[in-house]
Structure 1
Amino acid sequence: MTTTTTSPVLDTRALNRATLARQLLLDRADLPVLDAVAHLGGLQAQEPQEPFVGLWSRLRAFDPTVLSELLTGRRVVRTRVMRGTVHLLTADDALAWRARHDAMLRQRVTSAFRRELVGVDLDELAAAGRALAADGEPRSMAELGRALAARWPAAGPRGLAEVLVAALVPMAQLPPRGLWRARGGARYLPLATWLGREIGPPDPDGTDPVGRALVRRYLAAYGPAAVADVRAWSGLAGLPAAVAAIRGELVTFRDERGRELVDLPDAPRPAPDTPAPVRFLPAFDNAILGYDDRGRIIDDAHRGLSVAGERVVLVDGRVAATWKVAADTVTVAPLRRLSKAERAEVAEEGREVAAFLSDGESDRVRVPASPD
């Protein structure tokens, strides 16, 4: 995108506060759980219990059983979509967005399993998968792989099943996977079968309405942002055209590197000196992963934590520690020295998350003042 000299500059702290506000991390929101999942554009969910922590950190009086009921009631669903990763989405968004991601998903997954799929026609594999699922019986990845390998014995069962589930046939991961404190392997049915509605077309009128809607929804939850950030969140190419199509609706800024950022005109952009409370984030939280330039929320030296599955703690709006739970105790590992006041705030919030995770049976937390 061409950078204009007249666009206001937003420094890193201003972008941080905008992100926290959009992500419901500056103030916990009084939203219904379904509305929160919709506002966030879904929650990354390959670790089944992590969305509960993500929503607890964002909503007042969050009741995890409500999210479980939304899953069993088929109003939210676990499925592969953005970046080819399992996300928890509203049923409406999953059906509206999935086809727009088809080409990206096929390219990513078939490239990863290229050797295992030698001699396999992907259209035939998709048809075989649909036929297999037509009986309505949920199946695990291993069961799908074994059944498909009977037709393609030279191919790897894992590759056949992975490509089918992740790219060729939109699939839902069924409960009890993803229910509060439930254990269960992933079992699959076609998304349209599970939700009882058909998946929407990706571009019904040739103007990419789904792409334009995705850009608007992304900016509402993540903006201001560059086109590269939208792509990092979604995994989709072709979104510069969607941004161009709605440019008249948007306002523009620059970051300190000179990149052009676009945003919705009425979206919150709090003052940079707005206080930011301590927040405990789950593994793979999109508040961090949803950007190409993550410098607004995490230092480059710690960027690897965001893809390593570490749970992190925000102090003054930035990643300042990791955390884990063992023996009913939340243990915090600082990434920098914490002041006495910061350590007290981290300990207080740590006791709250410990109580949430243990149903109030524990509020134990350990917070060293500085890295070990």
Structure 2
Amino acid sequence: MKKVSLITGAVLALTLLASPAQAATDLPNSHRFFEEMTYLQNKGVISGFEDGTLRPDKTVSRAEAAIMIGKLKGLDGTQRDAGFKDVPKSLKASGYIAAAAKAGYVSGYENGTFKPDAPITRGDMAIILSRVFPLYMPGLEDFKDVSPNMKAYESIGYVVSGNVAAGYPDNTFKPSNATTRAQFSAFLSRGVEPKFQNDTHMKGSFLRDKTKTYLFKNAEGKYEIYSYVKPDSEFADIENFVWKRIYENEFSYYTEHESSKFHLSGFAGSDSYIDLVYPIKKGATFTGFQDSSVYEITNVGVTVKTAYKTFTNAVEVTLKADPKKNIEGHKYYMVEGHGHVKTVSLDGKVLSELFSVE
């Protein structure tokens, strides 16, 4: 487990303040991605058209995507030769295309073209965003319409596991579908603002609210604090948001992921463990991924009392004791939207419990 002194490690706090932009005539509050588009508009990443519209449901082109990425990343958009046969200097997006290509965010085709007016598909989007927002956890979800021989296969896995994009309820990703301006805005927003990542959680998710700070108290009366942050620059291998655990004046980075098959967590740069398997069913057993210990879902719909509050819909999981492996065993409780909330020994001693959520 990586640990760093709090004196030498700094928390990168994300505080994004912006003045409100003029409301677009075609972006009602009821639009699914109203908040995301307004957020990027306030940051100057996306702008409207001369007629006062944002055209949220218009397909985003490769040139428009380069402009949005360039503005978000602070690239130089001065119009210039972009190095592509079909991108003249006079093109509004030429500077951003040149800068984004140099940064490695976008690329052209073998024939030397960029195809600035071509639409961005969801597969293209995944490739681009996996470069713009380098992510920690590889794909955990198996989509029916995404195969390992696809160019976007790994990128789709990364953006989904990183809560930048999500699949559909029918377990598809629809990689060939065009991406709209609103959808692309949502993906970009999730890369820089945790509250939008919450929108990618599946129905009944056990992932925690990424805008909250979770405080736990252990059997020794000591506290652990979990907050969702970008890690210190010292950890170049962890560039996306992760949970930061502070305990006894030291911190480590903790990851939490979910697919339609399981909930997984672990310390970044260390082992990961399966906490829960789906569908949730009493009696279901599983091993902990990189852990060969045996776990069993021993109860569902459990009422469990913690220092924070009493939950009435917890799932009880039991780690079976194994003397040969020196495993004493314990029980832990998982709750939708909170993940772990309590751990007790097999004889009932509280080992850790949720103390507060702020």
Q: Quick check: which one's strand share is greater?
A: 2
TM-score, L = length of structure 1: 0.27
Structure 2-normalised TM-score? 0.28
Structure richer in helix, relative to its length:
1
- Rg larger in structure: 2
RCO comparison, higher one (Cα < 8 Å, 6+)? 1
